[in-house]
A and B are shown apart, each in its own frame.
Chain A
Amino acid sequence: MYDVTIIGAGIVGTSIARELAKYELKTALVDKENDVSNGTTKANSAIVHAGFDCKPGTVKAETNVKGNALYEQLCKELDVPFKKIGSFVTAFNEQDLAHLKFLKRQGEANGVAGLEILSRDEVLNREANLSREVLAALYAPTAGIVGSFELAIALAENAADNGVDIHLNSPVTAIEKTAHGYRLTAGENIIESRYVINCAGLYADKINNLVNEPYFEILPFAGEYNLFDRSTGDYLNTIVFQPPSDKGKGVVALPTVEGNFLIGPTSEGPKERDDVKTTSKGIQELREKGMKVVPDFPFHKVITSFTGLRAKTPDNDFIIDKPAGSPRFINVAAIDSPGLTAAPAIAEKVVQMVKDSHGFLVENVDFIPFRRPVNRFIEAPAEEKAKLINYDPRYGRIICRCENITEGDIVDMIHRNAGAETIDGVKRRVRAGAGRCQGGFCAPRVMEILAREMNVDITSIVKDKKESYLLTGETKAPAKEFV
């Protein structure tokens, strides 16, 4: 019997899991995928938003600004890369200018600190590669960039280190009310739980509808992105937004915390919940819109493109509530942008709801907020490098040539809680295969390491999802006379 079961191991589910781990509770985190962070959390802009574009009084506004403030400490505790590089919303005409003023007022109403409207010269001084057509920009110093899936993975690991059970490959297909709470069918598991927290992202409405009356509908909106080679990683110093339109925040151009450059997203929908394909139309649109803010950008340096789906609702606000008649069921749904930023604050809010409902929660005195530090061989100074290899010679073997990731780095990430079991799982944790050859050289080596460390046959190693196999069997055996 669990006290709390969280459905969905994206950024919201993992944040709540870790927050709950601070209390004496038996908590389960279940996900249908074979890895945590395998939905919306793995494909978004990875921006920690300042909070000026949420309507004052909304849950979004409240949790965005609170969440932003929690980031620095959280990422320090979990050893996750985070850089507060600030953001610009650019203006190219009078109408845009008026909108900047509106956003500044709105941001101030939300409690966003440090907002300033900078003149053309001031903007171009800071961003030499920005379009000369820019008239002014709203500067938000509190905006930042983070590794979104690194953070969710770190949260899951830290939650598990502090006693949370993670059940992967466990799609929730049935929920029944019981005398003490709920009984969930989650893959091969039957889970009894006093409380259920629904963080199922694109499937949150379906999960709610398994046991409660339908009262919201998730509309998946697709956003395509292009990711560019490291050599473009310093093209801008700041996150640069287009002038806002009715389609959300529009296409953003930004350096990523990992040292690449990202342009996206488009916004198309509603779509099917699993439709994450990229389109030639989307690729074209990103180029056109990107050109508006960075006209000379080397678009040919793209290394990959991807699509993320955002869980929208017509009301354009997060849904964090209990369905009628279900005091022990909490829906945390419609978490589209700025969900990543808001997640730490959402987690506090949801835990408070559990606390209120339960009456009290006992603090877990053994809770350790720190994740075992990640060694990141290539970033270590020379003497640290020597020490690492001395400690484990596998840190001396580079597996990913593009990002210089060692076998030591990879093995460490396989054996942690919520560890890597797939090629993409390794990529998301240590960047092996995330460089310009996109795993061309290292995929065979990574598969070999995964198979060895997990003691399975190499043909069972998959790229990402369960059926995304790479090898179809052995080659023909040599004829006997040649052996």
Chain B
Amino acid sequence: MNYDLVVIGGGPAGLAAAIEARENGVESILVLERDRELGGILQQCIHNGFGLHTFKEELTGPEYAERFIRKLKDLSIEYKLDTMVLDVTEDKLISAVNTLDGFFQIKAKAVVLAMGCLERTRGAINIPGTRASGVYTAGTAQRFVNMEGYMVGKDVVIVGSGDIGLVMARRMTLEGANVHAVVELMPYSGGLARNIVQCLNGYDIPLLLSHTVTEVRGEERVEEVVIAKVDEDKRPIPGTEQVIACDTLLLSVGLIPENELSKKASVEINPLTGGPVVNESMETSVPGIFACGNVVHVHDLVDWVTEESCRAGKHAAKYVKGELSASDEPIRTEAENGVRYIVPHHIQKDNIDGKLTLMFRVDNVYENARIVIKNNGETIKSVKKRHLAPAEMESVKLKAKDLEKIQDGTLTVNVTVEEVVAQ
């Protein structure tokens, strides 16, 4: 099999990239999706709040996905469901399996990696205690409840205040469960402010900041968990332990980009994001292999995934048509004070059409701060921000006039948070 473009993953990122590539003139496209339907995790996010930026209206996850799926079908883009990619090589040879085609290989001119991310588990954060059942990642519980139609427990404690955890606090409550608390290790929430208001405050579910779960108890099924306050070094403070009787512990303690295939394709991975190093075109270190969405860095809103993935699709189309300049002496981006990482990691100026979006996350909560973008000490752009939090992805758009100020050659783009008033 030969295709101009193969998109690995049929979630929001893969769908947007495929559609954008087709609209930019690529005829031969194949989307490979491992699940039984397109749409990815959106299909289990039955709450609304999706699409405010993309469509200027509030959609549920499945509704948001459906708009892209319909478009994909209208454009007659080929896709295969229930299909797992086992290998991708640097030469863009893809090996995959499904029940209909068996084991098959595809040679592609360009590849978009859009495999998304996975949830951190109990093991990854090493919660001590028994191995009782009733400990779920929030996303797994969400799948059981929203897609399979089964409840996972009656008395719930949620550890971690990531968005899926917050949304599940509300969902479990609506399904008749008793959600006792959301326990967050950090002194601030890991989820969006609007989710705290809508999912916790509205249901009187306490959010316990600077707390952690120190033990899971129960022989076969969870019977209780022990929580404790933590000190500034995130260590439990003796004497602050509290026992909560419950049968379920949901974990919402972070997402990890899923890059096993990227590694097989020899794509360079950034240790801070856990995703591929990408340039302004969302192209990875391997020419012709692009990446977008949560496989690159974990997003807060699907709207940003869509925007980023359109960029990937558009540039993948350019690559297929031979219109993309190879990176020669790119401009590197570098995170400074208060910023954890920046995407893209480097920039080839002549590939930018019109504007460049820098996406990043801050490392703490800041009020009345300023994001300053500098090039060789000279300020290119400065944006005032009333509130910055690690849970929210930030972005700054550089327009043509800003880009003009950036000099050629090996230059550094610095993003700094000034006028810092840390909470």
List residues of A whose CB falls within 8 A of some B CB.
Answer: 226-227, 274, 276-280, 282-283, 302-306, 378, 382, 385-386, 389-390, 393-398, 401-402, 404, 406, 436-441, 443-444, 458-459, 462-476
Contact = CB atoms under 8 A, between A and B. Distances in A.
B43 to A, nearest CB: 13
A397 B82 contact: yes
Contacts of B103: 382, 385-386, 389, 396
A476 B86 contact: no
Contacts of A466: 220
B153 interface: yes
B150 interface: yes
B151 A473 contact: yes
A471 B144 contact: yes
Contact of A475 (B86, B121, B130, B149): B149
Given A283-B126, A397-B82, A469-B221, A464 B133 contact: yes
B140 A443 contact: yes
A471 B102 CA distance: 34
B119 A437 contact: yes
A471 B151 contact: yes
B157 to A, nearest CB: 15
Contacts of B215: 277
Contacts of B100: 393, 396
A306 B216 CA distance: 13
A471 B128 contact: no
B295 to A, nearest CB: 13
B129 interface: yes
- Range, interface on chain B: 35 or more
Contact of A397 (B98, B122, B152): B98
Contacts of A406: 97
A284 to B, nearest CB: 10
B243 to A, nearest CB: 15
Question: Nearest 9 A-B pairs (CB), nearest first?
Answer: A304-B123, A398-B84, A468-B133, A467-B220, A463-B133, A393-B99, A396-B99, A389-B102, A385-B103
Nearest to B119: A440
Given A274-B219, A394-B99, A396-B97, A472 B154 contact: yes
B254 interface: no
Contact of A303 (B99, B124, B129, B139): B124
Nearest to A303: B123
Interface of B: 34, 82, 84, 86, 95, 97-103, 118-119, 121-124, 126, 128-134, 137, 139-140, 143-145, 148-154, 175-176, 214-217, 219-221, 236, 247, 260
A386 B123 CA distance: 35
Contact of B123 (A276, A302, A395, A397): A302
A465 B128 contact: no
Contact of A396 (B98, B118, B143): B98
A389 B151 contact: no
A443 B152 CA distance: 12
A36 B374 CA distance: 64
Among the interface residues A277, A406, A474, which one has the most CB atoms of the partner chain B within 10 A? Answer: A277
20 contacts: A277-B129, A277-B215, A277-B217, A278-B128, A303-B124, A305-B126, A396-B97, A397-B99, A401-B84, A436-B124, A437-B119, A440-B118, A441-B140, A444-B140, A459-B150, A464-B133, A465-B219, A471-B152, A472-B150, A472-B152
Given A437-B119, A438-B121, A468 B98 contact: no
B371 to A, nearest CB: 30
A459 B247 CA distance: 15
